[in-house]
Structure 1
Amino acid sequence: MERLTSGDFTAEQDPFALFQVWFDEAKTSEPNDPHAMALSTVDADGMPNSRMVLLNGRDGEDFVFYTNTQSQKGEELLGQPKAAALFHWKSLRRQIRIRGHVSIVSEEMADAYFQSRPRDSRIGAWASQQSRPLESRFALEKAVAVQAAKFGLGTIPRPPHWTGFRITPVYLEFWKDGAFRLHDRVVFRRASAGEPWARARLYP
């Protein structure tokens, strides 16, 4: 793997190996949330939306994150199962763009991850009507208290409206800052999952 960091990254043939090297470096250099990514979706009218989410991990070639399916992004992902994601690591002056098809993780995978979350986060998943109007902070705190009392010290199951999504990429682009805006860029494209990648270096 060392050759990826010391040599010309635009010559790398495997986008996932390159992603992992850059991601590992970001985990040592970014002060907060190296796994944060801007997730872009579109609504039924084709109007785009972007927001920051946290990458939970990779499952094979897929990029996995979790959310409330009744939220704006959840509804958009279910209605238009395609998405783009952007990692920007300012400390490294690098970014990675991902575009691909979206699918839902298995029930077992969602259950396992939900139970790994802190207890207060599990209660919050039940209390928050994500993306819907909220009259006050007190109303949110009251909803959390109601759910905490409901579950007590018992098991907190995964809400039926909370699950994981996976992005299966057909496009990955790696960008590194260069002097005088002469940046380095390399893009990997494929028609669908499982097909070979076509790699090209791009003008900055």
Structure 2
Amino acid sequence: MTEDLVLPAAGEAGDHAPPEPLLTVSGLVKHFPVKGGFPIRRTVGAVQAVDGLDLTVHAGESFGLVGESGCGKSTTGRLITRLLEPTAGTITYRGRDISHATRKQLAPVRSEIQMIFQDPYASLNPRHTVGRIISSPMEINGIAPPGGREKRVRELLEIVGLNPEHYNRFPHEFSGGQRQRI
């Protein structure tokens, strides 16, 4: 006598397949060479800034990286955003390995993976208005929202609890918390 095994279709009760991670970092390593010697400079050692980092972030989750000064937080962020080339390891975003992707291959990802630096004042150009600072990435990425960029920037300012009328103000006119939201 034989029995048939019936599995529920995707989305039905009993389907417990875990969702695909948004971001997976596996064995991430970044070593910076230390040069020495005169007159011929050569590598005499390496600074191990990040050494074997693993992490997974799913859609809807927030991820914060904290630690003491000099422990590799900024380097890790720069590696994940691909501002730095990893020495080893893999960075997978939405199921796609971006560890060694070219600038052209990274273009569509750049608008989705970004860092928020601890010191917002150092990140904001003091010569540009908030409107220009926020609309610049839209311009760079060819985003033309309905109603125009200015309208969208004003909406974004309101979403983060700032007055849309602050569009023409400069970074020094805001508190630290307000600059962080900008």
TM-score, scaled to structure 2: 0.28
The structure number with the bigger radius of gyration is 2
TM-score, scaled to structure 1: 0.26
